[in-house]
Amino acid sequence: MSDRITCYFSFRSPYSWLALYRLGKIIDDLPVEMDFIPVFPPPGMRTSAESDARKLAYIRQDVKRFADAYGLAVCFPDPFDVRWLIPHSAFLCALDAGKGLVFCNALYRARFSAGNNIARTEVIRQVANDCGLDGEIIAKAGRDKIYHERVLSGMANLSESNVFGVPTFFYNDKQYWGNDRLEWFLRDIYRERGNNVPDLEADPLSRPF
């Protein structure tokens, strides 16, 4: 029985935003620790959504549906892509300071609720200050080669880890992909610790945990 969950996420991904927002609500009550690994597509790589306007339109509709239900405002940034090494490096610095998920969710709000460019120094600085962090240190880390190397090191084994999208979670050698899979690794956590979980065979519309 593992005591850790590995979470691959990206500031580029609105589904990562939704998932980590929900994680922030329950993480203090989880009987396991979380390891966060930030990732992003290599420069020049086109995702399937970018290649299919229908899928992109659906994602925007779908994300707004979830966000509305969670009480989150939505403002997709334009341009959508930024210099991804910068915010992900800043996150690692916030993680080192013990406020990784708090900073992460605040930066997501700056991106997907306020439509800001989260690679800009002033945006990172303000978000960090609002989280009780030293904004100058966090903003500087976003452009620090040491933090850049840490981000790239975390991404180096993506294919070997079988990560094909974010957010992706690993728990006890099981993989869970997407915001809508949080309930499933929670189910496995609770079941392995002897908690009762719903009988989905009897009621397939029940919550998994």
pLDDT tens sequence for the chain (209 residues): 678 999 999 999 999 999 999 999 999 999 999 999 999 987 666 665 666 889 999 999 999 999 999 999 999 999 999 999 999 999 999 999 999 999 999 999 999 999 999 999 999 999 999 999 999 999 999 999 999 999 999 999 887 889 999 999 999 989 999 999 999 999 999 999 999 999 999 999 999 98
Judged on CB neighbours under 10 Å (0-12, 13-18, 19+), 193 is exposed
End-to-end CA distance of the chain, in Å? 18
Q: Which domains does the chain have, with CATH numbers?
A: 4-192 (3.40.30.10)
Torsion, Cα 75 77 78 81, to 10 degrees, reads -160
